Chains A and B, each alone.
Chain A
Amino acid sequence: MSISRSEVEKVSLLARLRLSDDELDRMTAEMAQILRYMELLAEATTDQVQPMAHPVDVTDVFREDQVRSSLSREQALANAPHHDDEYYRVPAVLGEA
């Protein structure tokens, strides 16, 4: 399975990364090389093998619903690149930019 430049460009949109023309060229070559190495896994027999997503058998943990203090609005906004007194500010999604 090789990867094309246009596929890499599409993945960069899914990944919300903007890659320059040079970066796209380099990324295509590097990903192709790395993915070729991954083909090694095809030879491993995995019929009837349960996938292992996590090393610990995580189970649901329940606790009483208690009211506790959490971050204040001021703290939550403190690291935002753009905010006003109440909200995170982002570019307009609808209509004119």
Chain B
Amino acid sequence: MSLFDMTATDLLAQLQSGGATSVEVTQAFLARIDCHDKSVGAFLRVNREAALAQAERVDRKRACGEPLGRLSGLPVAIKDVLCTAGEPTTCASRMLEEFRPPYDATVVARLKAADAVLIGKTNMDEFAMGGSTENSAFQLTRNPWDLQRIPGGSSGGAAACVAASMAPLSIGTDTGGSIRQPAGLCGVTGMKPTYGRVSRYGLVAFASSLDQAGPLARTAEDAAMLLEVIAGHDRLDSTSVDRPVPSYSQSVRRPLEGLRLGLAREHFGEGLDPEVEKAVREAVRVYESLGATVHDVSLPHSKYAVATYYIIAPCEASSNLARYDGVHYGYRTDQSDRVAELETELASRRAETSATVLDEIDNPLVRMYRRSRAEGFGAEVKRRIMLGTYALSAGYYDAYYLKALKVRRLIRRDFDEAFAQVDLIAGPVAPTPAFKIGERVNDPLSMYLFDLYTVSTNLAGIGGISIPCGLSSAGLPIGLHLQSPPFAEDCLLRAAHMFQQATDWHTRKPVLD
């Protein structure tokens, strides 16, 4: 078996037994990137030299018998929304094309402390807004299973690079499904931990009450190893929760006895592709054969989840993205033609009575903000900033934002009541397998509705994982979504591992020419 085909767990065993060096492992993945990333487009940047230098450092430490971190010598890809000190961190936006953060995100710092090899930064929807990675300002990422199809998003690069064996481990972020949905569509394992489990320090904010970083990998075992490194309290993020990090990588192999699995009828309604439903129901039967019991649960408010999410997330985004003003960092419009333009417009619009118009065009600073943001942001980011600004504006706040926050509470209560009866809730992660590139770009609402099974996890702040559970007749991966009560990552990972011991869907790989 080639090094790039191995799981991270097996690679680590190879490194520890002397079967391979970190330089060899890193070179194997770099070669794989050279061969296939031109067609897949998962990476925005590959840190070839830095990665090899780090691999050499780890090999040297290992040869000298020095103590090593838990990921010593394993390549890890990072979604380009996490700050890497001195290296570009673009969020796939023109706005941050030139931005070089002065510090590392805590997740990145922890990976470095664990002696990981940071191999590159992966593509995503601009500012993590989207579900297809088509909103990247720089490039498309293609699904390795069918290059005409989307990889999902927003962590499309993070999922595609694992699916195409260009990295054994990768870090994504999930605000409404952005780890789990691409993991499902690309046939890999991806987890959104409970809100607060992983520090958000240095994760460029989209929606602060929903954002959470998490692992993508081939297997639950690998995801457990990666989560164990990045999880934990951080004094630089006061919303990270101060509770001990269980030893996920130790417990993951222990099967769950008497697992109670919930099925919500709301997850099997209109719009669900029959092939996806069949694969998910078959996966549930696998759990039954492993001794799990299946129970009907009800999540009556889940029909409001997409509407609630697409109010709250844009509201938080409009506030968070106000920082991109063309002053402190990020893109600024070319100002050379500003004065002439100002004079022309003032003359032509002086007759207008609207005070706001005159205020605005009379103020060169506001004009600079508006132009910089208009030129620096893409269409979807603008749409969400507009929706959020509108929903928070005077006269609409109660009807939209406040109403959504109340429904959010009801969605959380549904889960609390369901989890009083079951340990995990199983369902589809996405209504269909990956769709074709370009198919939905002109229909934002249909893109939003694609998120119907994942957004409620973030609204409630609970945990979720997607694991491969089948292939469609067209040969496209189908993901099983498991949701857990807060801080039950251990249970999610163990359940995922049980399934992966009994099935081989997670071992299937796309054929790349």
Contact = CB atoms under 8 A, between A and B. Distances in A.
The secondary-structure label for the interface of chain A is: loop
Contact of B389 (A14, A33, A42, A88): A14
A44 to B, nearest CB: 5
Contact of B310 (A16, A34, A50, A51): A34
Given A17-B377, A81-B326, A31 B386 contact: yes
Interface stretch (B171-179, B275-283, B397-405): B397-405
Interface in A28-72: 30-31, 33-35, 37-38, 40-42, 44, 46, 49-56, 58, 61, 63, 71
B209 A54 contact: yes
A31 B382 CA distance: 11
B304 interface: yes
A30 B330 CA distance: 28
A16 B325 contact: yes
A75 interface: yes
Contact of A91 (B318, B322, B364, B385): B364
Interface residues of A, number: 53
Contact of A16 (B311, B322, B459): B322
Q: Interface size bucket, B side?
A: 35 or more
B370 A56 contact: no
A80 B328 CA distance: 5
Contact of A58 (B238, B403, B406, B412): B238
Contacts of A34: 310, 387, 444-445, 448
Interface string A75-97: 11011111000001011110001
Contacts of B387: 31, 34-35
Contact of A19 (B99, B303, B382): B382
Interface in B304-335: 304, 306-308, 310-311, 318, 322, 325-332, 335
Given A14-B393, A16-B325, A34-B448, A41 B404 contact: yes
A56 B238 CA distance: 10
Interface string B387-426: 1011001000001101111111110100000000000000
Contacts of A81: 326-327, 329-332
Contacts of B238: 58, 61
Nearest to A54: B209
Contact of B209 (A19, A55, A88): A55
Contacts of B196: 55-56
B100 interface: yes
Given A16-B325, A17-B385, A55-B209, A46 B406 contact: yes
B239 A38 contact: no
A55 to B, nearest CB: 2
B338 interface: yes
A13 B390 contact: no
A21 to B, nearest CB: 13
B356 interface: yes
B327 A88 contact: yes
A10 B390 CA distance: 9
Contact of A46 (B329, B407, B448): B407
B393 A38 contact: no
Contacts of B441: none
B239 A56 contact: yes
Q: Which of B209, B310, B377, B406 has the most CB of A within 10 A?
A: B406
Nearest to B360: A13
B339 interface: yes
Given A37-B306, A49-B409, 15 more contacts: A7-B390, A13-B356, A15-B386, A16-B369, A18-B371, A18-B374, A31-B383, A38-B307, A41-B308, A46-B406, A51-B405, A88-B328, A91-B368, A92-B364, A97-B364
23 contacts: A11-B389, A13-B360, A16-B366, A16-B369, A17-B385, A30-B444, A35-B390, A37-B306, A40-B307, A41-B304, A44-B301, A49-B409, A52-B405, A52-B412, A53-B209, A78-B102, A79-B99, A79-B329, A80-B329, A81-B329, A82-B332, A91-B335, A93-B363
